[in-house]
């Protein structure tokens, strides 16, 4: 018979985070979002591109949006162009001269997804102490910076 014993150290000392932990958290949270997006016939990449268009302070060209999505997702530019075409076909973005602008339907989609994911996010993130979130934010920013530098070196 195997038994486990909990000690005070078990509750106060957590294992150090690593790349696998980060990946598992990312994919679990992303899948929650993708589940909501699927109810709206939208993909994760479409949502990222649409959000970039909606939250921009200035009108975005297709190349501007491509660069923003590429910087976030590190995916093939051809895939991003296909995503922009999908958003245009769904009339979530509209061409306005050299720019792509979000439509009312595009803004409504993001608002609906945000409203549906808010309670889920509250359950996922709720109760985590502010100091833990701040520490995690600092670590994630540093990991992102370092990974981007390594990727630049690999692709130079």
Distance CA 129, CA 111 (A): 27
Task: Specify the pLDDT at position 13.
Answer: 76
Q: Is the pLDDT of residue 90 over 70?
A: yes
Burial grade of 73 (CB within 10 A; 0-12, 13-18, 19 or more):
middle
**String of DSSP letters for 86-132:** HHHHTTSEEEETTEEEE-HHHHHHHHHHHHHHHHHHHHHHTT--HHH
Q: Is residue 149 part of a domain?
A: no
Among candidates 61, 32, 57, which has minimal Cα distance to 47?
A: 32
Q: Is residue 71 part of a domain?
A: yes
Kind and range of the H or E run holding 39: helix 19-39
pLDDT digits (tens, 9 = 90+) for 27-58: 999 999 999 999 999 999 999 999 999 999 99
Q: Is residue 134 part of a domain?
A: no
**CATH number of the structural domain spanning residue 58:** 1.10.10.10
Q: Is residue 86 part of a domain?
A: yes
Enclosing domain of residue 95: 25-124
Q: Is residue 79 part of a domain?
A: yes
Count of the separate structural domains present in the chain: 1
Residues 6+ apart with CB under 8 A from 85: none
Q: Is residue 2 part of a domain?
A: no
145 CB-side CA count, 13 A? 6
Q: Is residue 30 part of a domain?
A: yes
Written as six digits, the tokens of 35 are 């589940």
Task: Specify the pLDDT at position 4.
Answer: 45
At 96, phi and psi to the nearest 5?
A: -135, 85
Averaged over 3-19, what is the pLDDT?
Answer: 62
Place of tokens 């993001």: 110
Computed over every residue of the chain, the mean pLDDT equals 92
């Amino acid at each position: 018979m195997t038994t486990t014993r909990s000690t005070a150290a078990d509750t106060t000392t957590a294992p150090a985070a690593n790349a696998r932990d980060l990946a598992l958290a990312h994919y679990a949270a992303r899948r929650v979002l993708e589940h909501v997006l699927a109810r709206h016939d939208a993909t994760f990449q479409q949502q990222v591109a649409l959000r970039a268009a909606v939250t921009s302070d200035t009108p975005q060209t297709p190349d501007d949006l491509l660069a923003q999505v590429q910087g976030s997702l590190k995916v093939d530019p051809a895939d991003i162009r296909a995503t922009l075409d999908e958003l245009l076909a769904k009339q979530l973005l509209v061409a306005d001269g050299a720019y792509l602008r979000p439509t009312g339907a595009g803004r409504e989609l993001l608002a609906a997804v945000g409203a549906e994911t808010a309670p889920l996010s509250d359950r996922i993130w709720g109760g985590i102490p502010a100091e833990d979130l701040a520490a995690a934010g600092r670590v994630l920013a540093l990991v992102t910076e370092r990974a981007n530098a390594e990727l630049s070196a690999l692709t130079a």
